Structure 1
Amino acid sequence: MKSKITLKELAKLLNVSVSTVSKALHDSPEISPKTAERVKELASLHNYKPNPVAVNLKKSKTGTIGVVIPNISNSFFARVLSGMEAEAQKHGQQVITYISNESLEREKQICDMLTSGFVDGVLIAVSEETQKKQIYDHLFGLLDYDIPVVIYDRINLGLPADKIGVDDEKSFYDATKFFKAKGLEKIGLASAIHHVGIGQLRIKGYEKALQKDDSSFMATSTKPDDLKRKIKILITEEKVEALLCTDFESAIMATRVAYEEKINIPKDLKLIGYISKDIAEFLTPSLSYIEQHPQELGSNAINILNNRIEGKYQSGKFEEEIIATTLVHLESTRF
């Protein structure tokens, strides 16, 4: 028996991307009415239907949530997962965890498994490689099987899904303003994640807080040795008075460079990092950090997903929740 047409085959016939077809079939506001009509007409003509096995399985709830974590080296995600599991238990649900290791290919494999219909919904923090290459067809594939999806943490993506994250841009805007209010003029920024959405938002907040006459001092690189070299230039040659670090790697690198160059923190250099409380408090000196409230993020992500599963949100309209961060001052920002 000849199989029915697939999503990819429809996209090929229409000369559009798979994501465009999926968005059109799900009434995404991103797709023009003309394109949506064209897609639906061809889908109807070829009797297109999502995988029947997955559809049948979705008729009854499994009580299982799939969670995709980009990496396990960052304790932030462990704390997010803790919040997810605690909240899921309240709803009588279990969580199955997958790790993409920041790999697009691994993320695709995970999404393929999740379309088999054994989960009620998916929570995913999109991998760095996926964001860098901007390939999202596998995520639209989940939607094609009517699997509710909530994107968490890394939400600066043009995907038609519910999202929950923190106020990345505002956090660095406020941190930069804090240093300016203290009279500091040479405020720098270091980042190993400048190429992905959350890194870009934090940099945007920093730049927005600087006024026209202020100079920006930035060290950005995905290569550890290169990042260390650039941070050293900021600290020893540019002599920045304060440094904002967008991520764990740049924060640890900055403290190391300061130690090697005998730069006194906080006397000669003030430092703020996006780093977990567990590590920040045990550094010498202790590192002021931006608290992202990961348990709350995880808990709220489960609630958003359950609201979508239970049909409490309008189809085609997506929720976005932003959690306020808190700047926690420890020894590295003492004046």
Structure 2
Amino acid sequence: MKSKITLKELAKLLNVSVSTVSKALHESPEISPKTAQRVKELAKLHNYRPNPVAVNLKKSKTGTLGVVIPNISNSFFARVLSGMEDEAQKNGQQVITYISNESLEKEKQICDMLTSGFVDGVLIAVSEETQKKKDYDHLHALLEYDIPVVVYDRINLGLPTDKIGVDDEKSFFEAANYFISKGITRIGLASGIHHVGIGQLRIKGYQKAMAEQKETFLATSTKPMQLKDKIKALIMDTKVDALLCTDFESAIMTSRVAYEENIKIPEDLKLIGYMSKDVAGFLSPSLSYIEQHPQELGNMAVQILNNRVSGKYESGKFVEEIIATTLVHLESSRL
């Protein structure tokens, strides 16, 4: 009995893209007669049958959007998802949510499912492991299946997709400059996400602002206890007067170190971090934070995807939207 084969497997056997195989099977004039013949012969040999759901997608819309979020414990992504669902609901669409748990392998499995054609498009924030290993083949596979993709939040990946994010670099440039303008120049930075794109952009913004100062003071590590020790060294040994924290974990850790070492915030140490407004106001002292407007980001991500799906954007030209952040001063940055 002849074995069945997928479009992706056909492409691999022929050493061509999935898009080429699909176009050849659909008599596209873009494909040479010789290549088309090779594709059709191999498809017949292996009893290839097109996925009926995928075929239906080409004919009509499903009204469903696939959303991949990397971390369910991060309230930022919960608020982004809320914004996406609100916007989708306005358009009579539903959202199917997948969680990668910052895992490359899990993300690959999710994207493989999404190539089956039961969603109109995909919104994805890529996992930390994907960024670290720079393995984007599964995302290219979505594009080869002509599935519209919008990358949100973690956008500096060089992928040929529409993107939406926040001005990470500018946010820390402005936060550091705020302190500098007040005469505070011994400003440190703590980060547990220095190895991924958004962390690198925030560090870059800090470094630009500090360019005219004598030195910068960094505490970075992906290991919690090591990061805590480095933060403690900045506060107790280097004696920085202010700290910028690129992520929730480093901000909470800095607050903990200050408490343990009897360092008063903001009298002895001023602090600004990336944190949810739902948490920042309940800390003691309350933590000054950078508001990323995640619900607005979610709304706009769905708008961009729907514009791509409906053909409002020119093929081959991609949209990149950047949302301005807002520095919210609470007690921890009080002068």
Under a length normalisation based on structure 1, what TM-score does the superposition of the two structures give? Answer: 0.89
Residue 178 of structure 1: aligned partner: 178
Does the CA contact (< 8 Å) of 1:23 and 1:140 recur in 2? Answer: no
AA of the residue aligned to 1:119: V
Does the CA contact (< 8 Å) of 2:7 and 2:21 recur in 1? Answer: no
1:97 and 1:185 map into 2 onto residues whose CA distance is: 44
Percent of paired sites with the same residue: 70
AA of the residue aligned to 1:265: I
1:24 and 1:271 map into 2 onto residues whose CA distance is: 53
Aligned-partner SS, 2:97: strand
Per the TM alignment, residue 210 of structure 1 is displaced from its structure 2 partner at its CA by 1.0
* Aligned counterparts, 1:116-195, within 5 A: 116-195=116-195
2:3 and 2:13 map into 1 onto residues whose CA distance is: 18
Residue 52 of structure 1: aligned partner: 50
2:125 and 2:173 map into 1 onto residues whose CA distance is: 24
Equivalent residues, number: 318
Residue 65 of structure 2: aligned partner: 65
Aligned-partner SS, 2:39: coil
Per the TM alignment, residue 185 of structure 1 is displaced from its structure 2 partner at its CA by 1.4
Under a length normalisation based on structure 2, what TM-score does the superposition of the two structures give? Answer: 0.89
Q: Give a deviation string over 1:61-101, Cα, whole Å, max 9, x none.
A: 11000100101111000100000000000000000101000
1:217 and 1:8 map into 2 onto residues whose CA distance is: 51
2:8 and 2:35 map into 1 onto residues whose CA distance is: 9
Residue 98 of structure 1: aligned partner: 98
Residue 317 of structure 1: aligned partner: 317
Residue 239 of structure 1: aligned partner: 239
1:276 and 1:23 map into 2 onto residues whose CA distance is: 41
Q: Please, which runs of 5 or more residues in structure 1 have no aligned partner?
A: 27-38
2:175 and 2:10 map into 1 onto residues whose CA distance is: 50
Aligned-partner SS, 2:301: helix
- Does structure 1 residue 199 correspond to structure 2 residue 207? no
Residue 78 of structure 1: aligned partner: 78
Residue 249 of structure 1: aligned partner: 249
Does the CA contact (< 8 Å) of 1:5 and 1:46 recur in 2? Answer: no
Q: CA RMSD in A?
A: 2.4
2:19 and 2:249 map into 1 onto residues whose CA distance is: 36
- Does structure 1 residue 270 correspond to structure 2 residue 262? no
Does the CA contact (< 8 Å) of 2:19 and 2:145 recur in 1? Answer: no
Q: Give a deviation string over 1:27-71, Cα, whole Å, max 9, x none.
A: xxxxxxxxxxxx976864633899832541222111000100101
